[in-house]
Structure 1
Amino acid sequence: MIRPTEKIRNLNFKIMCRCNNLPIDKLADCHITQLFIMLEKLKEKVFRANLDLVKHGLVIFTWGNVSAIDRETGLVVIKPSGVSYDDMKAEDMVVVDLDGNVVEGSLRPSSDTPTHVVLYKAFPEIGGVVHTHSTYATAWAQAGMDIPNIGTTHADYFHDAIPCTADMTEEEVKGAYEQETGNVIVKRFKNLNPVHTPGVLVKNHGPFAWGKDANDAVHNAVVMEQVAKMASIAFAANPHLTMNSLLIEKHFNRKHGPNAYYGQK
């Protein structure tokens, strides 16, 4: 069970205590207990999602991270920095607030934490974020190219091309680099819907993906790597590929549209 810390005790909690008929001196204890239970569950989910990156071949060594947010409290759980997936445990996950301050945990959070936090602030619909250096998606990022929507697999998950960000400026690189990485992603999505296009390529760096929770974000990261691989092979065979926009709309909307019919209810 997660142990209380002074930082957690001093938080201005945003969740309401569901315990009934408690005297006022017991109310705070109930609230704290609820918070600990929530964080323990979220740590386990984020831990498992990080292991899924290895399972699906998206990372080697420590090249990736998964986070998830509890929107009621604004608390983010993220992988610790530089810890091997073989050695990592659920209790190693680090809890930070939306300013990136560590609230719970004995290890340093991922160095990419500021990027994750920027995305959670900018995209209120998302609940999980993934960053990897998966081979094909990273190759497209290093090439500085969007991944065009040229197949139904792509269209099932991403309505548009998977966008690549602009070059980062000298000021952005020398400044709060990881935070500015988040900012360049947000700028790239000025005219895009992050729910319809749940991922991005950071130029010269690699992919970020997101979803409704940590598992969904991992799912989208896996799909992004696969469509990047498919596009690489397809363009090698035919560099002039395009896809009918009607087919794109059909495949995206049958999964995500108002009258979606893919899968079970």
Structure 2
Amino acid sequence: MSYRELKEQVYEANMQLHHRNLVVYTWGNVSQVDRERGVVAIKPSGVAYENMTVDDIVVVDLDNTVVEGNLRPSSDTRTHTHLYRHFENIGGVTHTHSTYATAWAQAQQSIPCYGTTHADYAYGDIPCTAVMSDEQIQRDYEEETGVQITDCFRERSPVETPMVIIAGHAPFTWGKDAAQSVYHAVILEEIAKMAYLTKTLQPQTPPLKQGIVDKHYQRKHGKNAYYGQN
């Protein structure tokens, strides 16, 4: 894939955030990795979506050095590249400050799996990371944000749960490419909203029965999945 093609895909994915009302002003970014070339295309820092063009997308290597582009890459670039280095099966990453998912982040709570909609897209709860330590804050903050996420997934599959809530911050999602990472960001916001409303209506609602969670996740993602068309 040429740099131009990579930048076009990342531009379109970023614009989907804008069209889906998941971002306000410049509050978000999407990237995609080209693993053969060892580069990542990502939104430029502080550029409003309505003003952004394909040419504004910045290409960096996995060590965060700009290899193409005249603008500074997103301030969250080091978080994205950290995820690409540690989650080998992902190809795209999205970060937003969407309202309901961010509310869960600010409450520093994981999102329980209350229903089958959640179970269709994420296996188990959507985890909330630990709060960043003072030592981490004083180091490379954006890199340490990536560490928060990968630490949270030591005992969990990033494929089975392609989304996370960062304590006190906001959500990150990922997928096979930039477009799928945005898709998961849209899904996460809806799941977060449903969970919030469920907890508001009945604070003592238990998580969904595990057998139903397994059934819904496996019928869509398991080796014998039968949801959708072949």
TM superposition score category, shorter chain reference: over 0.9
Q: Which amino acid aligns with 1:251?
A: H
Partner of 2:113: 149
Query: Quick check: 1:245 aligned with 2:177?
Result: no
SS in 2 for 1:86: helix
Partner of 2:176: 212
- Between stretches 169-178 and 203-212, larger displacement belongs to 169-178
Query: Quick check: 1:90 aligned with 2:63?
Result: no
SS in 2 for 1:249: helix
Q: Distance in 1 between matches of 2:127 and 2:2?
A: 34
Map 1:93-172 → 2, pairs under 5 A: 93-172=57-136
Deviation per CA, 1:140-199, whole angstroms, max 9, x where unpaired? 000000000111111000001000000111111121000000011100000000000001
Q: Which amino acid aligns with 1:127?
A: G
Deviation per CA, 1:33-87, whole angstroms, max 9, x where unpaired? xxxx621111001000000001111101000000000111111000000001011
Deviation per CA, 1:109-130, whole angstroms, max 9, x where unpaired? 0000000000000000000000
Q: Equivalent pairs: percent with the same residue?
A: 55
Partner of 2:154: 190
Partner of 2:142: 178
Deviation per CA, 1:75-115, whole angstroms, max 9, x where unpaired? 10000000010110011100000000000000000000000
SS in 2 for 1:261: coil
Shift of 1:240: 1.6
Partner of 2:224: 259
Q: Distance in 2 between matches of 1:71 and 1:175?
A: 27
Extract unaligned runs of 5+ from structure 1.
1-36
SS in 2 for 1:77: strand
SS in 1 for 2:129: coil
Partner of 1:235: 199
Q: CA RMSD in A?
A: 0.7
Work out which of the two has the higher radius of gyration on C-alpha atoms and give 1 or 2.
1
Query: Quick check: 1:70 aligned with 2:70?
Result: no
Q: Distance in 2 between matches of 1:226 and 1:126?
A: 22
Q: Distance in 2 between matches of 1:183 and 1:251?
A: 30
Extract unaligned runs of 5+ from structure 2.
none
Q: Distance in 2 between matches of 1:147 and 1:163?
A: 7
How high is the TM-score relative to the length of structure 1?
0.85
- Taking CA–CA contacts closer than 8 Å with sequence separation of 6 or more, which of the two structures ends up with the larger relative contact order? 2
Shift of 1:215: 0.5
Q: 4+ residue stretches of structure 1 with deviation over 6 A?
A: none
Q: Distance in 2 between matches of 1:251 and 1:155?
A: 6
